[in-house]
């Protein structure tokens, strides 16, 4: 008994050391974002001589951080709202309708999960240009409706099948039908699965790189945080102090959100993965 | 009167079906089906994106890619190697981590969060942070520790660059797989584990005879996710090595990106993209049928 207890303590201590080593790269990035160019070049490990926010001020102004933050927020919110709305309502109808058409449409909705984005990236770009969706923050948000729908329809569809049809029927007897029935009776029942989809899709849209690179890379005012960090590093390859600052500023929102919503994020990701 | 109402109700329900499903069909068609058909069309042409009319060349692009494109062959081999190693390593390591974190240590909430954090970061940014560490950080670490491992050229040599890409991808995503396995472990009934202890099974025997079989559903999901993600590896290579040194770390996805957007070989690039799609389709069908069979047995 005694031996197993010391064993446990050793294991615990070992795991804590391991987790700190695991996060050390992130610490190094933050550490060097406070240094001057000379300091970064002489010693990466050492702590900064003084805690100066100069790099942050510089990058903030240079990439117009508030603007990018707003862009990311618009794209994510617009994308998410659309995905949740159109997918939940369609998945509900498809799960409740037992007809050949319904199953064909369901298959058509989820099949794109097999198409790798690289297989269509060029043609999506051309189509988006024709539809005036390229080079616009709102347009990019709209495009995510289609890209996020297959997985969302799949997850919602599986969940709706578990909701008894009697609920629909009793609501119909009470006089509710169509949209009314969906929004006041069914949609609230989908709360937990909606939370899962929101979490998975926020992480995906907020961090997405290739689609924004193709769609909104044209002007500085439509860029996203990740995209701006990418082009910024391209221009300042050797100015590591600015590069690291831009990285930290790009990932900071995700880390802050994660710290507060940790429990739900992990739960949502597990639920989504198990169903998806 | 009643009859009329009946037909109207029928029409009404069809209309409702249409109203509910049309938006999603429209969006998916724009995002996937129209571009996919355009991809098929462009893949049969020679086109640089500048001339107004792409020149129809039939299956020439496919012939050229499959028979005489060293870049594509190299990228395909890179992707296969990467996918196999990634799937095996990330799953084995994640299971080990999950086993330890399932032991209800005092710090397990912190540990779980710590290993999960890189997963919430964008892969492009993860790539840049590691590039900085490989290029600048390792130099300092080498000075202060004197260890030779820090003095190697981790991004400048073919074999090492491959290892770096693999390690960084695993670092970024291991928390995701760990969480799936922890969830799986928590569904293993306690009395089953206790019964095994009573029967005198040691930890290793317990792991292979009880825990691993009970983890099968989590393994299925994780392998599937690891497979689909590794076939499409792109972002981390772009920011970490940029395909270097000497073009040795191009993946298929990156090779397609380079042909289409950097070399302006639009027709040729889309043909490669179509080949990738077929490969993914075949692999998915094989994988699904294997797992279906296993489920029947279980």
Q: What is the mean pLDDT of residues A112-131?
A: 92
Query: Given CB atoms, is A134 within the 8 Å cutoff of chain B?
Result: no
**Looking at residue B249, what is its pLDDT?**
94
Contacts of B276 in chain A (CB under 8 A): 116, 118-119
The secondary structure of B30-87 as a DSSP string is IIIIHHHHHHHHHTTEE--SSSSSPEE-TTHHHHHHHHH-HHHHHHHHHHHHHHHHHH
CB contact under 8 A, A274 and B221: yes
Structural Rg of chain B based on CA atoms? 25
**Closest chain A residue to the Cα of B254, Cα to Cα:** A118
Q: How many CB pairs below 8 A link A and B?
A: 244
Q: Model confidence over A79-115: pLDDT tens digits? A: 999 999 999 999 999 999 999 999 999 999 999 998 9
User: Which of A118, A223, A273 is the best residue to mutate to test the B interface, defined by the most B CB atoms within 10 Å of its own CB?
Assistant: A118
CB contact under 8 A, A119 and B24: no
Structural contact between residues A199 and A268, judged by C-beta atoms closer than 8 angstroms? yes
**Contacts with B, A 169-188, CB within 8 Å:** 178, 182
**Looking at residue B9, what is its pLDDT?**
55
CB contact under 8 A, B115 and A22: yes
Burial of B60 (0-12, 13-18, 19+ CB in 10 A): middle
Contacts of B260 in chain A (CB under 8 A): 121-122
pTM above 0.95, yes or no: no
**Looking at residue A3, what is its pLDDT?**
58
CB contact under 8 A, A247 and B129: yes
Q: How far apart are the C-alpha atoms of B90 and B31, rounded to whole Å?
A: 31
Both structure tokens of B7: 């037909």
b/e per residue A66-97 (b: at least 16 CB within 10 A): eebeebbeebbebbbebbbbbbbbbbbbbbbb
**Looking at residue B2, what is its pLDDT?**
42
User: Which of A82, A115, A250, A271 is the best residue to mutate to test the B interface, defined by the most B CB atoms within 10 Å of its own CB?
Assistant: A115
Please list, in sequence order, all residues whose beta carbon lies within 8 angstroms of the beta carbon of residue A90, skipping any fewer than 6 positions away.
A109, A149, A153, B20, B21, B23, B24, B25
What angle do the packed helices B216-231 and A240-275 form, to 10 degrees?
Answer: 140
Q: Model confidence over A177-213: pLDDT tens digits? A: 889 999 999 999 999 999 999 999 999 999 999 999 9
Query: Given CB atoms, is A264 within the 8 Å cutoff of chain B?
Result: no
Please list, in sequence order, all residues whose beta carbon lies within 8 angstroms of the beta carbon of residue A240, skipping any fewer than 6 positions away.
A32, A37, A40, B132, B136
Q: Rounded to 5 degrees, what are φ and ψ at B122?
A: -65, 135
CB contact under 8 A, A114 and B284: yes
Please list, in sequence order, all residues whose beta carbon lies within 8 angstroms of the beta carbon of residue A68, skipping any fewer than 6 positions away.
A223, A224, A225, A228
Query: Given CB atoms, is A269 within the 8 Å cutoff of chain B?
Result: yes
pLDDT > 90 fraction of chain A, expressed in percent and rounded: 72
CB contact under 8 A, A240 and B232: no
* Confidence grade of residue A77 (pLDDT, cut at 50, 70, 90): very high
User: Which of B8, B23, B125, B276 is the best residue to mutate to test the A interface, defined by the most A CB atoms within 10 Å of its own CB?
Assistant: B125
The answer, yes or no, to whether residue A154 has pLDDT greater than 90, is yes
Contacts of A16 in chain B (CB under 8 A): 107, 110-111
The answer, yes or no, to whether residue A1 has pLDDT greater than 60, is no
User: Which of B94, B120, B131 is the best residue to mutate to test the A interface, defined by the most A CB atoms within 10 Å of its own CB?
Assistant: B120
CA dihedral A223, A224, A226, A228 (to 10 degrees): 30
Q: Rounded to 5 degrees, what are φ and ψ at B103?
A: -80, 10
Q: How far apart are the C-alpha atoms of A21 and B171, rounded to whole Å?
A: 11
Of A1-15, A197-211, A214-228, B228-242, give the lowest mean pLDDT range.
A1-15
Residue in A117, A255, A273 closest to B221 by CB: A273
Q: How far apart are the C-alpha atoms of B43 and B37, rounded to whole Å?
A: 10
Structural contact between residues B82 and B251, judged by C-beta atoms closer than 8 angstroms? yes
ipTM (interface predicted TM): 0.91
The answer, yes or no, to whether residue A144 has pLDDT greater than 50, is yes
Both structure tokens of B274: 């179509």
**Looking at residue A164, what is its pLDDT?**
94
CB contact under 8 A, B31 and A124: yes
* Confidence grade of residue A74 (pLDDT, cut at 50, 70, 90): very high
Q: How far apart are the C-alpha atoms of B154 and B134, rounded to whole Å?
A: 6
Q: How far apart are the C-alpha atoms of A137 and A219, rounded to whole Å?
A: 11
Q: What is the mean pLDDT of chain A?
A: 91
């Amino acid at each position: 008994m005694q031996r197993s207890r010391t064993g446990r303590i050793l294991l615990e201590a070992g795991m804590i050391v391991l987790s700190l080593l695991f996060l050390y790269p992130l610490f190094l990035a933050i550490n060097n974002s406070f240094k001057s160019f000379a300091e970064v070049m002489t010693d990466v490990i050492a702590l900064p001589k003084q805690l100066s926010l100069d790099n942050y001020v510089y990058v903030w102004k240079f990439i117009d951080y508030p603007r990018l933050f707003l862009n990311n927020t618009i794209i994510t919110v617009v994308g998410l709202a659309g995905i949740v709305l159109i997918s939940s309502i369609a998945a509900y109808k498809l799960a409740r309708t037992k007809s050949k058409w319904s199953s064909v449409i369901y298959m058509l909705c989820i099949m794109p999960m097999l198409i790798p984005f690289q297989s269509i990236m060029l043609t999506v770009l051309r189509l988006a240009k024709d539809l005036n969706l390229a080079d616009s923050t709102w347009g990019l948000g709209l495009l995510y409706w289609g890209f996020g729908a297959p997985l969302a329809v799949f997850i919602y569809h599986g969940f709706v099948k578990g909701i008894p049809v009697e609920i629909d029927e009793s609501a119909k007897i009470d006089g509710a039908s169509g949209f009314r029935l969906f929004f006041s009776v069914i949609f609230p029942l989908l709360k937990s699965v909606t939370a899962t989809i929101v979490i998975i899709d926020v992480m995906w849209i907020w961090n997405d790189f290739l689609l924004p690179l193709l769609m909104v890379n044209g002007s500085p005012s439509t860029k996203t945080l990740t995209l701006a960090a990418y082009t910024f590093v391209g221009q300042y390859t050797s100015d590591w102090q600015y590069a690291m600052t831009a990285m930290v500023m790009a990932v900071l929102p995700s880390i802050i959100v994660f710290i507060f919503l940790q429990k739900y994020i992990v739960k949502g990701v597990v639920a989504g993965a198990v169903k998806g | 009167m009643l009859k009329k109402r009946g037909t109207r109700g029928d029409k009404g329900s069809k209309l409702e079906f249409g109203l509910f499903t049309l938006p999603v069909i429209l969006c998916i068609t724009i995002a996937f089906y129209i571009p996919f058909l355009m991809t098929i069309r462009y893949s049969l042409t020679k086109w640089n994106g500048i001339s107004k009319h792409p020149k129809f060349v039939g299956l020439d692009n496919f012939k050229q890619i499959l028979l005489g494109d060293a870049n594509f062959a190299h990228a395909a081999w890179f992707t296969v190697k990467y996918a196999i190693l990634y799937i095996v390593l990330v799953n084995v390591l994640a299971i080990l981590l999950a086993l330890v974190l399932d032991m209800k240590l005092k710090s397990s909430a912190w540990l779980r969060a710590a290993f999960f954090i890189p997963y919430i970061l964008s892969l492009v940014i993860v790539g840049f942070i590691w590039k900085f560490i490989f290029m600048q950080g390792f130099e300092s670490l080498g000075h202060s520790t004197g260890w030779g491992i820090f003095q190697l050229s981790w991004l400048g040599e073919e074999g090492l660059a491959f290892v770096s890409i693999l390690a960084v991808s695993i670092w970024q995503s291991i928390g995701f797989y760990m969480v799936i396995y922890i969830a799986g472990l928590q569904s293993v009934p306690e009395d089953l584990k206790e019964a095994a202890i009573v029967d005198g099974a040691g930890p290793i025997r317990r792991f292979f005879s009880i825990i691993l079989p009970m983890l099968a559903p989590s393994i299925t999901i994780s392998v599937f996710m690891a497979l689909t993600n590794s076939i499409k590896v792109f972002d981390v290579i772009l920011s970490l090595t940029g395909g270097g040194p000497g073009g040795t770390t191009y993946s298929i996805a990156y090779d397609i990106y380079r042909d289409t957007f950097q070399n302006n070989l639009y027709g040729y690039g889309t043909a490669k993209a179509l080949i990738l799609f077929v490969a993914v389709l075949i692999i998915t069908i094989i994988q699904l049928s294997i797992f279906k069979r296993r489920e029947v047995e279980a």
